[in-house]
Amino acid sequence: MPSYELLIDGRMVKGDGTLEVVNPATEELAGTCSRASEAQLNRAVEAAQAAFPKWAATPIEERRAALEKIADIAMANAQELGQILTSEQGKPLKDAVSEAFGFGVFTKHFAAMDLPVEVLEDSDKRRVESHRMPLGVVGAIIPWNFPLVLVGFKLAPALLTGNTIVVKPAPTTPLSTLRLAELIKDVLPPGVLNVIADANDLGSAMTEHPGIRKISFTGSTATGSKVMAGAAATVKRITLEMGGNDAGLVLDDVDPKEIAPKLFDAAFGNNGQICIALKRLYAHEDIYDSLCDELASIAKAKKVGDGAQEGTELGPLQNKNQYEKVKAILADAADKGTIIAGGAAKDGPGYFIEPTIVRDIAEGARLVDEEQFGPALPVIKYSDADEALARINRCAEGLGGSVWSRDLDRAKSLAARLESGTVWINKHGELDPGIPFSGAKQSGFGTELGRAGLDEFTQRKVINIAG
């Protein structure tokens, strides 16, 4: 049985405890890893603090070269990392291997960026320069849906800008991150990168730690609000990418057969366990029945099973708590709507739920009002686009959304009024390392990716020189 250790101050070390990680497809043990105590968290932060001055003073060209090497190592070991990821997360192996490559892609993108000095004024009166300086130690809190690629969202910009980092993966998916740490540890000076694992008991200590200058968090809104509260006492910089109940607005001029596969993929990628997955679909009454039928047909044809088995298209839910939550949401949906595909848990071991399409449902049902984070999509009928948009915007979250139409001017007009950080037109959920990604309302604040995402890991310093 594989076992993995913590990375603290450049060395793989045993934890003060042990964590057992379950394979969600079999409910058997996927592996074990060291579990950090609060004392070990403190040692990781102290190591990062000690390494910070020298790393911050390292020329950016050398930091860039280190990130390039880290990306190459991850890509060269993508098959192994993918196998570990599938065993702990459940996603199909091809998707897990792609995620390991994705870590490399995002890392390389940030490695190619620069931190130029911006000259705000250069006159006889004065010269004013804006510099981007590192913050210090960054704490990165990673969720269980994309354990590897989301490390890339945080590690690469943090290190390029001269910070050091302590990474804490989710307790149900720490193995692939710890293995990645073991593979890349010798690329960096001791203490620049530290990776610990916990049993969901070190989050508060991390967010409140006086030695950490910034928290970069991806996860639920409920947990994100706790992170925000914990960071307040030391006025930490924070980036919060939290939950979303993303809506798609389908207008009356679309071809249901053409867009149904795109809508399905947007809703059911990673088994619906994506913060920006399509989670509510508002469809015009003129195409409603046809679109529901198309979506149901696709759902019934999908192969659900162990991600390690060839041909699997959708794996299990990642953990038992999420599995039970989705089952309860579906029970409510059966009372308040009509299930036309799926709707049931599979017999046998594993946290499997059939991909589910629910029609004749509206606000007031949990499947519409809550972020399900699972393989279920409510399809909601509407007759007036403005009224549908108002219903969509009543949601407290605003991470992403989409508008689907052949009339781009009409789609753009509605997209401008949809209250979310990103709105896609005739697609949903696309992320690119060069495009900034931000949440609106209770989906968080701050920015990841793009130049704005890089700046989140820096302190602006203005140097004002007399003429």
Distance CA 117, CA 120 (A): 9
Contact between 175 and 83 under an 8 Å Cβ cutoff? The reply is no
Q: What is the dihedral of CA 205, 209, 215, 219, to 10 degrees?
A: 10
Radius of gyration in angstroms for the set of CA atoms belonging to the chain, rounded to a whole number: 23
For 11, the token pair is: 């060395």
Question: Tokens 């798609």 appear where?
Answer: 248
Contact between 200 and 173 under an 8 Å Cβ cutoff? The reply is no
Let me know how long the chain is. Answer: 467
Active-site residue set: 241, 275
Which of 455, 358, 443 has its CA nearest to residue 400?
Answer: 443
Which of 268, 230, 280 has its CA nearest to residue 392?
Answer: 280
Distance CA 209, CA 38 (A): 11
Tell me, letter by letter, the H, E, C secondary structure of the chain: CCEECEEECCEEECCCEEEEEECCCCCCEEEEEEECCHHHHHHHHHHHHHHHHHHHHCCHHHHHHHHHHHHHHHHHCHHHHHHHHHHHHCCCHHHHHHHHHHHHHHHHHHHCCCCCCEEEEECCCEEEEEEEEECCEEEEECCCCCCCHHHHHHHHHHHHCCCEEEEECCCCCCHHHHHHHHHHHHHCCCCCEEECCCCCCCHHHHHHCCCCCEEEEECCHHHHHHHHHHHHCCCCEEEEECCCCCEEEECCCCCHHHHHHHHHHHHHHHHHCCCCCCCEEEEECCCHHHHHHHHHHHHHHCCECCCCCCCCCECCCCCHHHHHHHHHHHHHHHHHCEEEECCCECCCCCCCECCEEEECCCECEHHHHCCCCCCEEEEEEECCHHHHHHHHHCCCEECEEEEECCCHHHHHHHHCCCCCCEEEECCCCCCCCCCCEECEECCEECEECHHHHHHCCEEEEEEEEEC
Distance CA 425, CA 406 (A): 10
